[in-house]
Amino acid sequence: MTEEVLLETNNLTKKYKNSTALNNINLKLHRGKVYGFIGKNGAGKTTFIRMITGLAFPTSGNLSLFGNSNKKDIQNSRRNIGALVEGPSLYPFMSAKENLKAQQIALGIDDDKNIEELLELVGLSDVGDKKSHNFSLGMKQRLGIAMSLVGDPDFLIWDEPINGLDPEGIKDLRVLIEKLNKENGKTLLISSHILGELENTATDFIIIDSGNIIEEISKDELLNKRKDYLYIETSDNKSALDILKNKYPDVSIKMDKDYISLANFYDVDFLSTLLSQNQINIREMRREKESLEEYVFTKIGARK
């Protein structure tokens, strides 16, 4: 079964004077996915998001939304996108309800019941008439997320949605993403520096660096590609490191604080015997998968 393409870009490029923010981006985003959009500051994430949402325009190349590629149809298609870009855009002297009502009016909607539902969904049902300029950063972020949901859009684009949220807020957002995706069938593109949270919520990952897409990968593919590390602590780590490097020259082996790490190494029984024969005792041994953060940093670092 062919997956529906919600967004497609062809050689999408954005230049500012002598710098290139995006360089010939070719992407297809499919319905029903949660995309984690990953990159350092200045990598091009926000520029890409601004072009999808119509806040910036390409220097060259083009994009299509929901199968529409001409400018008028793309603009109409953007009504089916809910976005949180570079922080929430709020009317500071309006309450949460009034901000949501203003968003409804902008979209030609009149549904007070939906406003109550959205406030409940993001945990702001009890804020009353408090003006948004008196909200905490986390409350503003919750309201911004609620505003992106006005009109029940199919495609949600959130730029750093975790900003300002406390641990409870981050957990609530994780639950909300799962609900929106699995129960409501929403497609999400989420840019975040909190890679551990993206790892918990995304189904697919897009890695960008210096305006170039360097990898598109599903969660399952990522799990298979990430290195598996064996960590050991011994009675003499320095001697153990020398012995293991000499015995296994093709294995990535290094000292990591109080532990020796071996990448994708599974001959544990022989390793134990080898160290024992050299009067070195193993005090601790554990196995861990490479984190998403480590994988991304390695991937980006390999391009330098």
- Burial readout 212-244 (b: 16 or more C-beta within 10 A, e: otherwise): bbbbbbebeebeeebbebbbbbbeebeebbebb
How confident is the prediction for the chain on average, in pLDDT? 91
Residues 284 and 208 in one domain: no
Q: Is 283 found in the same domain as 162?
A: no
Q: Domain count for the chain, please give it.
A: 2
Residue type present at position 18: N
Does 51 share its domain with 63?
yes
For residues 203 and 231, membership in a common domain is answered with no
- pLDDT tens, per residue, the chain with 304 residues: 567 999 999 999 999 888 899 999 999 999 999 999 999 888 899 999 999 999 999 999 999 999 988 888 999 999 999 999 887 888 889 999 999 999 999 989 888 899 999 999 999 999 989 999 999 999 999 999 999 999 999 999 999 998 888 899 899 999 999 999 999 999 999 998 888 888 889 999 999 999 999 999 999 998 888 889 999 999 999 999 999 999 999 999 999 888 999 999 998 999 999 999 999 999 999 998 888 888 888 888 655 4
Between the alpha carbon of residue 190 and those of residues 5, 34, 143, 251, 286, the distances in Å are 17, 7, 17, 36, 33
pLDDT at residue number 186: 95
Q: Looking at 207, 224, 241, which one is the last position of a domain?
A: 224
Look up tokens 């940093």; give the residue. 297
Does one domain contain both 43 and 153? Answer: yes
Considering the domain architecture, whether residues 167 and 188 belong to the same structural domain is answered as yes
Residue 24's φ and ψ, nearest 5 degrees, are: 50, 60
Convert the pLDDT of each residue in 131-145 to its tens digit: 999 999 999 999 999
The CATH number given to whatever domain includes residue 257 is 3.30.70.270
Alpha carbons 85 and 158: distance in angstroms, whole number = 6
pLDDT value, residue 1: 55
CATH code at position 53: 3.40.50.300
> What's the pLDDT at 192?
87
pLDDT of residue 88: 84
- In terms of residue numbers, what domain contains 253? 227-301
Same-domain pairing of 80 and 153: yes
Tell how far CA 203 is from the center of its chain.
Answer: 10
Which residues are CB-contacts of 13 (< 8 A; sequence separation ≥ 6)? 20, 22, 23, 24, 25, 58, 59, 60, 61
With H, G, I as helix, E, B as strand and everything else as coil, classify residue 72: helix
In this structure, what token pair is assigned to residue 206? 């897009």
Rounded CA gap, 187 and 185, in Å?
7
Q: Which of 181, 201, 224 is where one domain is finished? A: 224
Residues 179 and 81 reside in one and the same domain: yes
- What is residue 290's predicted lDDT score, i.e. its pLDDT? 85
Query: What's the CA gap between 274 and 260, in Å, rounded?
Result: 15
139 with 48, same domain?
yes
